[in-house]
Amino acid sequence: MFVDSNAKGAIAEAEITVAAIRLGWAVLRPVNERARYDLAIDAGSGPLRVQCKWARRRGDVIVVGVRTSRLTPTGYVRTIYTADEIDAIGVFCPDVDRCYLIPATHLEGRGMLHLRLEPARNGQRGAVTMAARYEFGAIAQLGERLGGTQKVAGSSPASSTPEGTEVGSHEFREHFGWYLERSLRGEQFLITRRGKRHARLVPP
């Protein structure tokens, strides 16, 4: 059955709304359509601006287009979302019937995002984004993933020490630029590898 782009957007919003409600989160909608986000989801620490996307599966990868396109008097203008406009991208993939929530800070200016359903066959781990990490039901530290200080009710806060917030080496490598930006804002991180302290990132 053919589904046009408007219907895809409406279905994605509906599925993401249901997924959030099932987790006990409040869902709000903008009164007009001038905002860059489709929904505001409140998981207990204030509303988060969420842009909803329909995505398809290609092999072991869910391909998410996060670039926008609008028609202007001078032609089509293509832009990307920024963390100043939205807090997260909500994704519905009908091929796996699951919803995902990706923090805007993890988009890193990209117009396309690939979520892997299975590990890469060549064993690559760096620069690989696993879909399971962003499933709605798997999000235990939503506020931390969005780069803020809010905490979701019932979640476990990130482990912190006097040397900084602990983060695994794989997570650190995958979102290196994001952690650098947070370090520039004064935060410090203790990088662990296989449960052992490995390195420390401190502000300059």
Spell out the domains of the chain, with CATH numbers in brackets. Answer: 5-154 (3.40.1350.10), 158-204 (3.40.1620)
pLDDT of 139 over the 60 cut: no
Mean pLDDT, residues 41-51 taken together: 86
Judge whether 88 and 48 are in contact, CB under 8 Å.
yes
Give the pairing type, strands 39-42 and 26-28: antiparallel
* The pLDDT value given to residue 150: 41
pLDDT more than 90, % of the chain:
25
Most confident of 78-82, 121-125, 157-161: 78-82
Of 1-5, 122-126, 187-191, the one with minimum mean pLDDT is 122-126
Question: In whole angstroms, how far apart are CA 188 and each of 21, 140, 170?
Answer: 35, 22, 17
Q: Say whether 15 sits in a helix, a strand or coil.
A: helix
* Cα separation, 146 vs 152, whole angstroms: 11
Residues 6+ apart with CB under 8 A from 174: 126, 127, 128, 129
Judge whether 81 and 120 are in contact, CB under 8 Å.
no
Output 170 or 88, whichever has higher pLDDT.
88
Mean pLDDT, residues 87-92 taken together: 93
Mean pLDDT, residues 128-146 taken together: 65
